[in-house]
Amino acid sequence: MEVVIASSAVDAGIGCWELCSGAERHRYRSCSSAPHGLLSVSGSFLFLAASQVRDAPSATSAPILFWSWDKPQVEVRSFPAEPIGPLISNVEGTYIIGGGSSGNIYLWEIFTGKLLKKWHAHYRSVNCLTLSKDDESLLISGFPEHSLGVTDIVSGHGLSNSIIISSSKDRTCKVWSLSKGELLRNITFPSVIDAVAMDPGEHVFYAGGRDGKIYIAALNAEGNPNSSYGVFILDTLYDHSKAITSLALSKDGVTLVSGSEDGSVLVLNTTTKRVTRVFKHGKGPINNVVIARQSPLCSSASANKPPPLSKYTDSADGEVKTTAVTMVESPSHGHQNSRFLSADVMGKLIQELQKQNTSSAAEMELERLRLQSERSTHLVRQWRKRYEDMQSVYVSELLDGKEMSSS
């Protein structure tokens, strides 16, 4: 069952509604979320997380709060070394990544709460984070080409030539080729864009403006030279009464959810361009919307609540001077991992780790990758031998059958 969850920067809690029926499922208490700070974690664990805004600009810390799916009260409070803004996790639910107000990025393991990595990525606060959709091997946190701060980043699903879209306070959205590192298209909008969502087919993307409009922009098409908004801006989808702060698009690309400063959450059909549902969150403006899948296992999520996130790494050299981190799937705790990386992918990951500054954590990951690579190679050899044995048996039977028929 897909649900929509939404939060606000004021203490209005987190709303949760069924996407199909519109029925309210839960109302989670005591949340003043930071922009891009609302996270639904699935996989080995099932819970919600939200980074909190600081009580005052001079505050040196702010908590990250965790809720089980079936309980409205906060279950875990973590206090990182500094206020955290954006939060993301990988699909398997083994890691949480957060961007700090100082420009640091933090990588935690969910199962233990251990801080695995901390590095200084930007000179100012980290506003948004995303993982590459193809294999989640790259963490993307910012681009140097914008003249003002980056407001949102989304990654495409292409395997060979993944597309990245970044929006900025400079009223532009830039389309990048991740594999080539090239700027493919620069689109200027009539308003500052704070939220973007990409169509799964990577033909268009949706941009939420501070003027309340949801713009439809071309990715692959040549555009419309007669458009009143700009050659690559094809149309608008809907107008909110106030600025649009967040967008979330379903996997089929048909359902778009938008959150606005007017306090409303709209569900729109991108095909008919009509509003299908309206959710009212509360008195405060919306700053985060997420489409999540709530499984039947959510009723037992309280047994899987994460431990508090640690402030410090185990090693003294926890900082890495890099803008991309190789994310490797960790073993499921107590269970055999169902996915194995190919030898080619494993080799590339090992090379990426070798390029980074050596540390105890990196060496452990490197050794684990070597062992897993050897295991994958061994499995390939086993299957190859079985195939050759089967082929030999079938050829022998075929030849024997021909001899018997000829005699």
Please give the span between the terminal C-alpha atoms of the chain, in angstroms, as a whole number. Answer: 66
pLDDT of residue 404: 55
* Alpha carbon distance 38, 6 (integer Å): 8
pLDDT of residue 239: 84
Minimum mean pLDDT range among 146-160, 227-241, 307-321: 307-321
* Alpha carbon distance 9, 263 (integer Å): 11
pTM of the model: 0.74
% of the chain exceeding 70 in pLDDT: 70
What is the tens place of the pLDDT at every residue in 174-226? 999 887 888 999 999 999 999 999 998 888 999 999 999 999 999 877 777 77
Q: Answer for the pair 209, 246: CB distance below 8 angstroms, yes or no.
A: no
Question: Which residue is it, tokens 């499921």?
Answer: 332
Mean pLDDT of the chain: 79
Strand intervals (E) in 145-188: 150-155, 163-168, 172-177, 182-188
- Please compute the mean of the pLDDT values over residues 20-25 and round it to a whole number: 89
Q: Answer for the pair 169, 175: CB distance below 8 angstroms, yes or no.
A: no
Minimum mean pLDDT range among 31-40, 96-105, 237-246, 388-397: 388-397
- Which of 56, 148, 37, 82 is CA-nearest to residue 309? 82
- Which of 349, 328, 347, 348 is CA-nearest to residue 337? 328
Q: Answer for the pair 329, 94: CB distance below 8 angstroms, yes or no.
A: yes
pLDDT of residue 336: 33
Higher confidence at residue 291 or residue 294?
Answer: 291
pLDDT of residue 387: 65
- Which of 3, 42, 11, 51 is CA-nearest to residue 28? 11
Paired tokens of 125? 């606060």
Strands 76-78 and 193-198: unpaired
Higher confidence at residue 82 or residue 220?
Answer: 82
- Which of 199, 165, 198 is CA-nearest to residue 184? 165
- Tell me 355's DSSP state: H
Q: Is the pLDDT of residue 301 over 90?
A: no
Paired tokens of 323? 């803008």
- Please compute the mean of the pLDDT values over residues 359-368 and round it to a whole number: 60
- Please compute the mean of the pLDDT values over residues 95-120 and round it to a whole number: 92
pLDDT of residue 78: 92
Output the DSSP codes for 368-400. Answer: HHHHHHHHHHHHHHHHHHHHHHHHHHHHHHHHH
Paired tokens of 90? 């990988």
Angle between helices 360-406 and 343-355 (to 10 degrees): 160
What is the tens place of the pLDDT at every residue in 270-287? 999 999 999 988 778 999
* Alpha carbon distance 267, 275 (integer Å): 6
Q: Answer for the pair 256, 206: CB distance below 8 angstroms, yes or no.
A: yes
- Please compute the mean of the pLDDT values over residues 64-85 and round it to a whole number: 91
pLDDT of residue 331: 32
At residue 334, the 3 state secondary structure works out as coil
pLDDT of residue 57: 64
Paired tokens of 268? 């729109």
Domain limits of the chain?
2-304, 343-406
Cross-strand bridge partners of residue 8: 286
pLDDT of residue 302: 45
* Third-level CATH fold of 2-304: Methylamine Dehydrogenase; Chain H (2.130.10)
Minimum mean pLDDT range among 13-27, 171-185, 297-311, 341-355: 341-355
pLDDT of residue 400: 62
pLDDT of residue 56: 60
- Please compute the mean of the pLDDT values over residues 34-51 and round it to a whole number: 87
- Residue 305, phi then psi, degrees to nearest 5: -65, 140
Paired tokens of 255? 């359902």
Question: 214: part of which helix (H) or strand (E)?
Answer: strand 213-218
* Alpha carbon distance 34, 84 (integer Å): 8
Paired tokens of 292? 């999540």
Higher confidence at residue 375 or residue 167?
Answer: 167
